């Protein structure tokens, strides 16, 4: 089936690499392919490029170059931070996180819960916010690590990381922040956020390329590597650096800083227009997440009484790329753990769609979505056997599974989906 991308509104999943970043990496793919660890001049050129990118990323984070450790992705940075934090405080056996973290944090922590650690997952309220009082109640002298994301990838809700960090420090715990969704959307100034010990970012989320990320490790923090090997990254991560990807990330970081305020204002205006348009043109729509503490680019809406997966498939045929709040994993339709933690009603959680804009989103994208989405919603409501009645959860799950299978037969078998 021919496919033409008309509107890419899935920037929280990944972003278009900036042309400047792609251009900058070319010489390191074609000509300057030396190993940065080699003693010769040719390797030194690659090393020089890595050093330059380190300063560019440090500028983005508001830290110093020695505090930047290059990784392969956000997931690696999160895992490395967790391992290092626990190693720094070996006698403490308690970890605090939230119920709405990305699997890059939740999954290693749930694994550690089977290896002798006690893991507390803080609740969120209906708006997706955490309660600092719950954190104060749970934290103790046994808490080794507090790991809280800066902003949620599904709803865009921003957490009060500054306050969380203060509480962690008052109790002598390490503090890790998953900031994978933050660059280009939130100003990061780690010189001012003294309580943050570790912070992970990922290049492909801010117009760099896949396969490169960075972990901020505050100077003076004890650090045991996740990946043992050679002496790369000052002995903190074994493995030859992804020089082209790192170069591209440096340039992407520079681009973020160049026009930060203007880009945030422009993207927020587009997102707000999209939100207002959908609320005006569609019935029974709810916005998921705190609209006052939300990333400028993210809009998560629940179209009640219909299924996100059906919406997603229909929008896909129209060339609109978005994400749904329920994804196929292990052959079953799992509603988003984030929206469930927020107690979004069953009727809306299944019909949730995330629109995430980016630096290259345009008015044309928003116009196209506002033209195409309302008729899709109307049509799906008409054919929904449940009308506006809340369906029986079990029967509905069965019916949805059947529907997804028929969707798969139509679109061809795709690998299992999960939320990013």
* H-helix or E-strand spanning residue 285: strand 285-287
Under rule CB under 6 A, residue 227 binds ligand PLP? no
298 binds ligand PLP (CB under 6 A): no
Binding status of residue 188 toward ligand PLP by CB under 6 A: no
Among positions 68-107, residues that touch ligand PLP (CB under 6 A) are: 73-75, 78, 102, 104
Q: Given the residues 63, 73, 282, 328, select the one marked as catalytic.
A: 328
Judged by phi (left if over 0) then psi (alpha if -120 to 50, else beta), residue 305 lies in left
Task: Please state the closest distance from residue 98 (CB atom) to ligand PLP, in A.
Answer: 11
Pick the stretch among 173-181, 256-264, 385-393, 406-414 that binds ligand PLP (CB under 6 A): 173-181
Residue 97: closest CA among 169, 163, 164: 164
Smallest distance from the beta carbon of 124 to ligand PLP, in angstroms? 14
Q: Which residues pair with 143 in a beta bridge?
A: 94
CB-nearest residue to ligand PLP: 74
Check: CB of residue 256 under 8 Å from CB of residue 184: yes
Candidates 141, 149, 145, 87; CA nearest to 119 is 145
149 binds ligand PLP (CB under 6 A): yes
* 63 is an active site residue: no
x/- string (CB under 6 A) for ligand PLP, residues 36-55?
A: --------------------
Q: Which is nearer to ligand PLP, 96 or 282 (CB)?
A: 96
Q: Measured at the alpha carbon of residue 232, what is the angle toward residues 229 and 238, in degrees to the nearest 5? A: 25
Nearest to 51 by CA among 227, 241, 194: 241
Within 87-203, strands assigned E span 94-98, 118-122, 143-147, 174-178, 198-202
Closest approach of ligand PLP to the CB of residue 176, in Å: 11
Taking the least distance from each CB to ligand PLP, the nearer of 212 and 285 is 212
> Which of 21/373 has CB closer to ligand PLP?
21
d(CA 175, CA 330): 33
Q: Which is nearer to ligand PLP, 45 or 102 (CB)?
A: 102
**Closer CB to ligand PLP, 305 or 355, in the complex:** 355
User: What's the DSSP call for residue 157?
Assistant: B
Binding test (CB under 6 A) with ligand PLP, winner from 79, 202, 288, 347: 202
Q: How far apart are CB 227 and ligand PLP at their closest, in Å? A: 14
Query: 68 or 377: whose CB is closer to ligand PLP?
Result: 68
Question: Whose Cβ is closer to ligand PLP: residue 89's or residue 420's?
Answer: 420
What is the CA angle 220-225-226, rounded to 5?
A: 140
CA distance 233 to 290: 39
Q: Please answer whether residues 212 and 248 qualify as being in contact, where contact means their C-beta atoms are separated by less than 8 angstroms.
A: yes
d(CA 219, CA 189): 15
Q: Tell me the closest approach of the beta carbon of residue 395 to ligand PLP, in angstroms.
A: 32
Strands 94-98 and 118-122: parallel
H-only helix segments in 114-259: 132-138, 161-170, 232-235, 243-258
Give the ranges where 337-417 is alpha helix by DSSP (H). Answer: 337-341, 346-349, 363-383, 393-411
Q: Are 372 and 320 in contact (CB under 8 A)?
A: yes
Q: Which of 56, 98, 143, 153 binds ligand PLP (CB under 6 A)?
A: 153
CB of 388 to ligand PLP, least distance (A): 33
Let me know the angle formed at the C-alpha of 282 by 280 and 286, rounded to the nearest 5 degrees.
Answer: 85
In the list 213, 245, 391, 407, the residue contacting ligand PLP (rule: CB under 6 A) is: 213
CB of 182 to ligand PLP, least distance (A): 9
Q: Which is nearer to ligand PLP, 298 or 310 (CB)?
A: 298
Rounded to an integer, what distance in angstroms lies between the CA atom of residue 95 and that of residue 120? 6
Closest Cα partner for 161 from 153, 169, 102? 169
Q: Is 178 in the site for ligand PLP (CB under 6 A)?
A: yes
The one segment of 52-60, 167-175, 176-184, 365-373 that binds ligand PLP by CB under 6 A: 176-184
Least Cβ distance, residue 334 to ligand PLP (angstroms): 16
Catalytic residue ranges: 328
Residues that bind ligand PLP (CB under 6 A): 73-75, 78, 102, 104, 149, 153, 178, 180-181, 202, 213, 420
């Amino acid at each position: 089936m021919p496919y033409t991308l008309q509107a890419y509104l899935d920037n929280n999943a990944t972003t278009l690499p900036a042309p400047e970043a792609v251009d900058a990496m070319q010489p390191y793919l074609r000509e300057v392919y030396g190993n940065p660890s080699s003693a010769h001049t040719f390797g030194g050129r690659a090393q020089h490029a890595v050093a330059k990118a380190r300063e560019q990323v440090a500028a983005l984070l508001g830290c110093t170059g020695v505090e930047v450790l290059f990784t392969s992705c956000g997931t690696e940075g999160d895992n490395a931070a967790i391992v290092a934090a626990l190693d720094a405080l070996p006698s403490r056996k308690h970890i605090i996180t939230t119920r709405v973290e990305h699997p890059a944090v939740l999954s290693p922590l749930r694994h550690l819960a089977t290896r002798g650690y006690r893991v507390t997952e803080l609740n969120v309220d209906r708006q997706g916010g955490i309660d600092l009082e719950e954190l104060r109640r749970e934290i103790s002298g046994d808490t080794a690590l507090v790991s809280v994301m800066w902003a949620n990838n599904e709803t865009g809700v921003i957490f009060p990381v500054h306050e969380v960090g203060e509480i962690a420090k008052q109790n002598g715990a390490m503090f890790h922040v998953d900031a994978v969704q933050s660059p280009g959307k939130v100003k990061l100034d780690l010189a001012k956020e003294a309580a943050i010990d570790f912070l992970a970012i990922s290049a492909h989320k801010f117009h760099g390329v896949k396969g490169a990320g960075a972990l901020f490790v505050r100077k003076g923090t004890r650090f045991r590597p996740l990946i043992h090997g050679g002496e790369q990254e000052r002995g903190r991560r074994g493995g030859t650096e992804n020089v082209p990807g790192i170069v591209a990330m440096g340039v992407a970081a520079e681009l973020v800083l160049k026009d930060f305020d203007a880009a945030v204002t422009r993207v927020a205006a587009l997102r707000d227009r999209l939100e207002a348009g959908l609320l005006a043109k569609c019935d029974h729509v709810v916005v998921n997440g705190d609209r006052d503490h939300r990333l400028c680019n993210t809009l998560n809406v629940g179209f009640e009484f219909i299924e996100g997966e059906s919406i997603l498939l229909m929008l896909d045929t129209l060339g609109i790329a978005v994400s749904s709040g329920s994804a196929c994993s292990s052959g079953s339709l799992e509603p988003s753990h984030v929206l469930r933690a927020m107690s979004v009603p069953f009727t809306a959680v299944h019909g949730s769609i995330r629109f995430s804009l980016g630096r290259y989103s345009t008015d044309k994208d928003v116009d196209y979505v506002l033209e195409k989405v309302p008729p899709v919603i109307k049509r799906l409501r008409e054919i929904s056997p449940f009308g506006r009645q809340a369906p029986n959860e079990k029967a509905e799950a069965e019916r949805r599974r059947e529907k997804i299978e028929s969707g798969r037969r139509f679109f061809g078998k795709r690998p299992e989906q999960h939320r990013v």
